[in-house]
A = this chain, B = another copy of it.
Amino acid sequence: MLQPELKLRRDKIRSLMAQQGIDAALITCNTNLIYTFGSVVSGYLYLPLHSPALIFVKRPNHLNGEHLFHIRKPEQIVNLLKEQGLPMPTKLMLEGDELPYTEYVRLAGLFPDTEVVNGTPLIRQARSVKTSIEIEMFRRSGIAHAKAYEQIPTTYRPGMTDLEFSIEIERLMRLEGSLGIFRVFGRSMEIYMGSVLTGDNAGYPSPYDFALGGQGIDPALPGGANRTPLQEGQSVMVDLGGNFNGYMGDMSRVFSIGRLPDEAYTAHQVCLDVQEKVVSMVRPGVACEELYNAAIELVSAAGFADRFMGTGQQAKFIGHGIGLEINEAPVLAPRIKQQLEPGMVFALEPKIVLPGIGPVGIENSWVVTNEGVEKLTNCNEEIIAL
């Protein structure tokens, strides 16, 4: 990552810090280090409001550079700051929603005379509006993601289970450059690369606030394919995370085994209509809840409200911000007054689960532009018969 880009990102954070009277940040969680330092290290980025960032690295041992210091433990940071002539901060932010309790307390203890606050919401706010380089990374990710999805029909063999189908698509994604790993904000939600759901497994209630969950194959990881055979007349939805460069592109597509009942095509078209309607409304200044409400109105009028975003347990959103994590701000959900801004990137995923058939619908990744919106994931949106 080029230094001017990192400087730009750090300055986005600094600008929000200044508004809250915060004069330094100590950043150590992986996604925030990718954002501010350009790569994952074991270490700490110290970001003062008015002077250059310093990076303190435990591992790896081969890095060097201006403002880079090798340390064994965080207790060395304070003396190094003093040696650099930096004052102790008056108000410091730590990643309070991400750092484990004991680690937060340990780091806060390094600054006994400093007010320490939770900086996670601020950093998430900064990250929610992407830079032009980040948007370009999403575009590239979307191209690779689409290239993998276009090959999906070649992997289908009659008699396959959803899990076997998932495995072949995971392989396609990896061959197109997917890093594989699926990063989620928050300690709880875990998923391997994503989900491939067919038939009634798509309506299986998830422990998480996912659009569609699936049972999975083991209670140790309850999500995704559950070894349901892919059967004539059933749909299968592929929703794998497109992490090709750190940025979590999100795209879902639906396939059918043979022809589906007519209702499935109707429901799928309703989801495409929701996408078209919502996207037509996207512009800077629109509130997230307006998009959600428009979607619900359309789905209700079409008679699918009870099967929209799940059946037994319905997700209460139609889309979510994406970035280095799959669940960034903003969230397209009821009662969310937050307004869209140029540079925000989100996934929009209207989906309907049809009992006895399976999931239909669509998911694409989008970036808010000055004028409206740009699609980041371009790939056939019809139900493709396998």
Interface residues of A (CB under 8 A from B): 1, 29-30, 34, 38-43, 59-62, 94, 96-105, 118, 120, 163-164, 167-168, 170-171, 174-175, 177, 179-181, 183, 186-188, 190-193, 205-209, 213, 216-222, 243, 245-246, 312-313, 324
A164 and B175 contacting across the interface, CB-CB below 8 Å: yes
> Shortest Cβ distance from A76 into chain B, in angstroms?
18
* Residue contacts A-B, CB under 8 angstroms, 13 given: A38-B219, A40-B190, A43-B207, A59-B313, A60-B313, A98-B187, A101-B118, A163-B174, A164-B175, A170-B174, A179-B221, A181-B192, A218-B245
B209 and A59 contacting across the interface, CB-CB below 8 Å: yes
Shortest Cβ distance from A120 into B: residue: B102
Shortest Cβ distance from A313 into B: residue: B61
Question: Whole-angstrom distance between the alpha carbons of A99 and B100 in the complex?
Answer: 5
Number of identical monomers bound together in the oligomeric complex: 2
Interfacial chain B residues near A120, Cβ < 8 Å:
102
B39 and A219 contacting across the interface, CB-CB below 8 Å: yes
Given contacts A170-B170, A220-B245, contact A62 B101 (CB under 8 A): no
> Shortest Cβ distance from A110 into chain B, in angstroms?
15
Question: Whole-angstrom distance between the alpha carbons of A105 and B97 in the complex?
Answer: 11
A222 and B96 contacting across the interface, CB-CB below 8 Å: no
Cβ-defined partner of A104 (8 Å) among B30, B101, B163: B101
> Shortest Cβ distance from A142 into chain B, in angstroms?
16
B102 and A100 contacting across the interface, CB-CB below 8 Å: no
Question: Whole-angstrom distance between the alpha carbons of A183 and B59 in the complex?
Answer: 20
From A59, A187, A188, A220, residue with most partner B Cβ within 10 Å: A220
Shortest Cβ distance from A221 into B: residue: B179
Cβ-defined partner of A192 (8 Å) among B101, B180, B246: B180
Apart from A34-B219, A60-B206, A181-B191: 16 A-B pairs, beta carbons within 8 A: A30-B188, A34-B220, A40-B207, A40-B219, A40-B222, A41-B222, A43-B207, A62-B205, A62-B313, A97-B100, A99-B101, A101-B105, A102-B120, A164-B175, A167-B171, A218-B245
> Shortest Cβ distance from A363 into chain B, in angstroms?
21
Interfacial chain B residues near A30, Cβ < 8 Å:
187-188, 190
B171 and A29 contacting across the interface, CB-CB below 8 Å: no
> Shortest Cβ distance from A152 into chain B, in angstroms?
15
Question: Whole-angstrom distance between the alpha carbons of A246 and B207 in the complex?
Answer: 16
A187 and B34 contacting across the interface, CB-CB below 8 Å: no
Given contacts A217-B177, A246-B221, contact A208 B42 (CB under 8 A): yes
Interfacial chain B residues near A190, Cβ < 8 Å:
30, 40, 181, 183
Shortest Cβ distance from A179 into B: residue: B221
A213 and B97 contacting across the interface, CB-CB below 8 Å: no
Interfacial chain B residues near A245, Cβ < 8 Å:
218, 220
